[in-house]
Amino acid sequence: QVQLIESGGQLVRTGDSLRLSCVVSRGTLSAYAMGWFRQAPGKDREFVGSINREGTGTRYVDSVNGRFTVSRNNFENTVFLQMTSLKPEDTAVYYCAAKNARWDNGIYDQSAQYDHWGQGTQVTVSS
């Protein structure tokens, strides 16, 4: 069973930058499309950004487009979420997710499409 372990979440100020990491273990990252989701208190989990298996395509929710970047290093089995110009409304628990994609190179933005999830890392942006 593949395991995903997120790290990098912390308390930051408005306008700061932060990079989250997601290490994939017990599996080969290159077999998975990857996504980042977040859940704020009292709200549903929402899609943030995703990247296809080969790292050639990405997709973002409008609210973070231009500020966040998803990238991956298949050799290090790690996916990243680079966040810039952070706002208080970005405060949430951030989760990475993996979708089995050995036979396709699609980009996925629905939580139901993903097969494996990490435990989440807290990002808090103070005003």
The token pair at 46 is: 């929402």
DSSP-derived pairing of the beta strands 121-126 and 11-13: parallel
What number of residues does the chain have? 127
Q: What is the pLDDT of residue 5?
A: 97
Residues 64-77 have pLDDT tens digits of 999 999 999 999 99
Residues 90-116 have pLDDT tens digits of 999 999 999 999 888 999 999 999 999
Residues 2-37 have pLDDT tens digits of 999 999 999 999 999 999 999 999 989 999 999 999
Residues 84-93 have pLDDT tens digits of 999 999 999 9
Instruction: Reply yes or no on whether the pLDDT at 126 is more than 90.
Output: yes
Phi, psi for 101 (deg, rounded to 5): -145, 40
Q: What is the pLDDT of residue 27?
A: 86
Backbone dihedral region for residue 120 (phi beyond 0: left; psi -120 to 50: alpha; all else: beta)? left
